[in-house]
Amino acid sequence: SQQGEEDPQALSIQEGENATMNCSYKTSINNLQWYRQNSGRGLVHLILIRSNEREKHSGRLRVTLDTSKKSSSLLITASRAADTASYFCATAFNNAGNMLTFGGGTRLMVKP
């Protein structure tokens, strides 16, 4: 089974709305990363949050990490049609080099 599990599996919103995706994982991590994948640009790294960080921002993206609950959330504010894609969380464990374990993804559709 995969380490990270995203929730919801699919999300449909209108342009301008905010989108929130959640990720849960099972064991201690070094960091957690979020990736976006669409047919045009492949898999693209969005943001990395370390285990000792609680929140991180990058443009319209906000990521939170709660290590006590083993969960993370990705918030996309003021969504655009171009944000339509699948979003994956990936976890990197301590003492495991840079091997990432991906979740199953959230498929986001932003309607214009």
Partner 1 sequence: EAGVAQSPRYKIIEKRQSVAFWCNPISGHATLYWYQQILGQGPKLLIQFQNNGVVDDSQLPKDRFSAERLKGVDSTLKIQPAKLEDSAVYLCASSRGRQPYYEQYFGPGTRLTVT
Binding site for partner 1 (CB under 8 A): 2, 4, 30-31, 42-45, 48, 50, 88, 90, 92-94, 96-105
Residues 6+ apart with CB under 8 A from 62: 55, 56, 74, 75, 77
- CB 22 to partner 1: min, Å: 15
> Can you list the positions of beta strands (E) in the chain?
5-7, 10-14, 19-24, 31-38, 42-50, 55-58, 61-66, 71-76, 85-92, 100-102, 106-111
Closer Cβ to partner 1, 68 or 95, answer by number: 95
- CB 13 to partner 1: min, Å: 21
Closer Cβ to partner 1, 48 or 61, answer by number: 48
Closer Cβ to partner 1, 19 or 90, answer by number: 90
- CB 109 to partner 1: min, Å: 15
